[in-house]
Amino acid sequence: MKKLLLVAALAALSLNAAAGGVDVSVYTRKDQFTDIRISPGGQYFAATLPMEDRSVLAVIERQTGKLTGTFRLPRDNYIADFEWVGPERVVLSAAEKFGSLDEPQPTGELFAMNADGGKAEMLVGYRTQDGGLGTNIKPKKGNDRIWAYLIPTPVGDGRTALISAQPYSRDPHSTAERIDAFTGRMQRVAIAPMRNARFATDNQGVVRFTWGSNSDNIRHLYYRTGDGAAWDLVTIEKDGLFEVPVGFSADNQTVYLQVEQPSGPDAIVAMDLATRKRTQVLRDDRADPWRIIYRNNTRVPIGAYFSDGRLHSDFFEREAPEARLQKSLEAAFAGQGVVVTSQTNDGSLALVQVYSDQNPGDFYLFDTKARKAAHVLAKREWFDPAQQATSKPIEVKARDGMLLHGYITTPNGSNGRNLPLVVMPHGGPIDVQDHWEFDSDAQLLSAAGYAVLQLNYRGSSGYGKSYVSAGAREWGGRMQDDLTDATRWAIAEGIADKGRICLYGASYGAYASLMGVAKEPDLYKCAVGYVGVYDLPKMIADDTRDSRRSGNWLREWVGDPAALGDVSPNRLADRIKVPVFLAAGGEDRVAPIEHSRMMESALRKAGVPVETLYYDTEAHGFYTQEHRQAFYTQLLAFLSRSLGGAVATTGAGAAEAKAAK
C-alpha cells in the first residue's frame, strides 16, 4: 500500500531530549488525526484531523492515497461523530468547545459530503456557514430550528440516516427522524415519552427503545414492539441504578442490556422480549464494559472490551468470526491494546487500532482472507515507542478498605526506585477515568525524570456504579483522601522519594491539587492548578443559574453549598505552606478565571509563593501551540525548583526557566 500522502507530507521529528532538558514541542504537537474509518465498500478512508482550533474531515482513496475530499468546520468547532451511510456518502455531526480540555458540546448541526468532496450539504443547522466550509452552505428550510445527532444503526441504503432531533424550545421531547442525506428531508419515526431522550434500533433500523430523564434526573427506559406501537415503561432508575440497551439478537427477539449493579461492575444481560426473562451473559470481575463488540454491520453484540489495567476483550459468542478475529489480532499484537474500529460490509477488510502506554496509536488494514496486516498510519509517528516511559497498572487500598485502581509511570531507563513523584489527578471528577494508554503529560513529566501517579479515585468511571457513587459529595473528603493514600502507597513501595512529591492537575484535578496541599501540608512540596475551580459555593451558585437540572445534579454530586466553604482551597490558603503555580484562560466557561484570581489573591495574602500564567484569549485548556509550549515550559521550571527534575530546552520562556532554576 502506498503511504498516505496526507501523512507523508508531515515531517517526522525525533524525540532526543538534550542532556538535562526536555523538548516540550514534541509533546504539545497535535495528533496527525483523531479517528479513521474505512468505507463500506473499502474504497476510502475517512479521517478527522485536529487543527489548532478546529477539526477537518478528510477522505482519502485507499489504493492511491489521494486526498479526494475535505470538510472544514469554523473556529472552535469539531467533528463530534461521522458515519458512512453508504459507499460514497458521509454524514457528520459537529460539536463546539472553547478550550482544549472542554467537553465538546454538540451544536445540533449535521452535514453530509460525498467521498469526492461534492454535494456538501448542511442537513440540520441553526447558522449559515460562510467561508469556513469552502462555500456558502445554508441549513435546509425548516431544519434550522432544531438540533440533532446521529443514532447508531447498521449501514443503510446509502441515502438516509437515522437521527435524534429536538426543537429549540423549553424542555422539548425528543423525536427520531429518518433524514435524507442529500436533501435534508425528514420523516418522523418515533416520539420519546420523556425529555432529553436517546434512542436504540434493532437490526432493521427500527427504533425500539428510548431512555432519558426530565429535570428530576431520574432515568426511565421505554420499549415498543415496532413502528407506530405504543411505548411501554420497562425500567425506572432505582437507588441510582439503571440499564440501557446495547443491541439485539439477529432475529430481534432478544435485547441486550448493560445493567448497573448494586456492587461491582456492570453486567451484560440478555432479555427475552416476549417473556421479559433475563439472563446474564457477560460480566468482568472488576471492570465495566468499555465498548461493545458487534457482529459486522449489525447491532448484534457478541462481547465487549474492558479497560481494567490493560485493555482486554471477552465474548459471550466466542465462535463468531469477529470474536476469532479479535483474538487472533490480540495474539499478533501481544502486549498492546487492539481495537477493530471499522470493517467493510463484506468483512474482507478491517481497520485495526493498536496502542499502548508507549505507543500513541498505529492503524493497520487487516485482510481477513489473506490474514495479512498492512500499516496505514500512526497518530504521532515522531515518537519511538521503545524510548517512551512505561505505565504500570496498580491497586491501592484506601484507608476505609475500598480497593482503588490507577497507574504509575516511571522514566524510561530508570530502576523505578526513590524517584521524585508528580501526583496527577484527572478532571471530572465523576464518570471520568484514566486508562492504560499513551498520556502526553505523563510522558513529558517522565522525560523530565519524574514518576507519575494517576489514580482512579472513587467517583471515577469504569469499575461499577458503586465505585462512581462512592464519590458523591466527597469533594475534599474521601476522594481527596484516596489521593493521599495513593501517595503514601508510592512512598511505602519505594517508588517515591517522600521529600520530593508535588501535585499537578487540570479542572477538578487542579482543585484536588490545591486541596491536597491545604489538607496535607507536610506531604507535598508544591502544587500546580491548571484551569481549576477553587471556591465550591461560587461554582454551584454560578452553574445553578443555567438550569434546574444542573442545580439538582450539583447538589447530588458536589454537596450543600453551605457546607462547601470548608473544602474550598481559596478559603484555606493560610494552611498552604508550599509554592503554587496557577494557569487559566480568560474565556473559560467551565472553570472561570475568576477562581484562579481569587486563589492567587488568597495565597499572596497568606504569604504563599505563587506564580501564574494567564491568557485572556484561552479557555478551559490552552489551544495554541505557542501558549501550550509556554505552559509546559513554565511547568517544568516550577517543578524543577521543588523536585529537581529537568527543564525545557525549547519553547517560549525556556531560557528564563533555566535562569530561574
- SS3 annotation, 506-570: ECHHHHHHHHHHHHCCCCCCEEEEECCCCCHHHHHHHHHCCCHHHHHHHHHHCCCHHHHHHHCHH
Q: Three cell numbers at 478?
A: 474521601
Backbone φ, ψ for residue 556 (5° rounding) = -70, -40
CB atoms within 10 A of CB 499: 9
CB atoms within 10 A of CB 213: 17
CB atoms within 10 A of CB 70: 17
∠ CA 533-535-541, rounded to 5°: 100
390-660 maps to which CATH number? 3.40.50.1820
Positions of the chain with pLDDT lower than 50, given as ranges: 1-19, 128-135, 548-549, 651-661
pLDDT of res. 651 = 47
pLDDT of res. 554 = 82
pLDDT of res. 545 = 52
pLDDT of res. 72 = 87
Give the three-state DSSP class for 436: coil
pLDDT of res. 528 = 98
DSSP 183-229: T--EEEEEEEEEES-EEEE-TTS-EEEEEEE-TT--EEEEE-SSTTP
Q: Are 482 and 407 in contact (CB under 8 A)?
A: no
pLDDT of res. 130 = 43
DSSP 278-296: EEEEE--SS--EEEEEE-T
∠ CA 426-427-430, rounded to 5°: 105
Whole-number Å distance between alpha carbons of 571 and 518: 10
Whole-number Å distance between alpha carbons of 651 and 632: 9
Whole-number Å distance between alpha carbons of 28 and 627: 10
Q: Identify which of 147, 172, 69 has the alpha carbon closest to the alpha carbon of residue 113.
A: 69
Q: Identify which of 352, 246, 221 has the alpha carbon closest to the alpha carbon of residue 302.
A: 246
DSSP single-letter state for residue 2: P
Whole-number Å distance between alpha carbons of 389 and 386: 8
pLDDT of res. 18 = 34
Q: Three cell numbers at 235?
A: 425500567
pLDDT of res. 216 = 77
Q: Three cell numbers at 374?
A: 498492512
Q: Are 243 and 288 in contact (CB under 8 A)?
A: no
Q: For 442-469, give one letter per residue: b (16+ CB within 10 A) or e.
A: bbbbbbbbbbbbbbbbbbbbbbbbbbbb
Whole-number Å distance between alpha carbons of 483 and 213: 33
Residue pointed to by grid coordinates 454524514: 91
pLDDT of res. 271 = 98
pLDDT of res. 146 = 79
Measured over all CA atoms, what is the biggest interatomic distance in the chain, rounded to whole angstroms? 74
Backbone φ, ψ for residue 139 (5° rounding) = -60, 150
pLDDT of res. 544 = 63
Write down the pTM of the prediction: 0.90
Q: Are 407 and 62 in contact (CB under 8 A)?
A: no
Instruction: Spell out the domain ranges in the chain.
Output: 239-304, 319-379, 390-660
Whole-number Å distance between alpha carbons of 67 and 58: 7
Give the three-state DSSP class for 318: coil
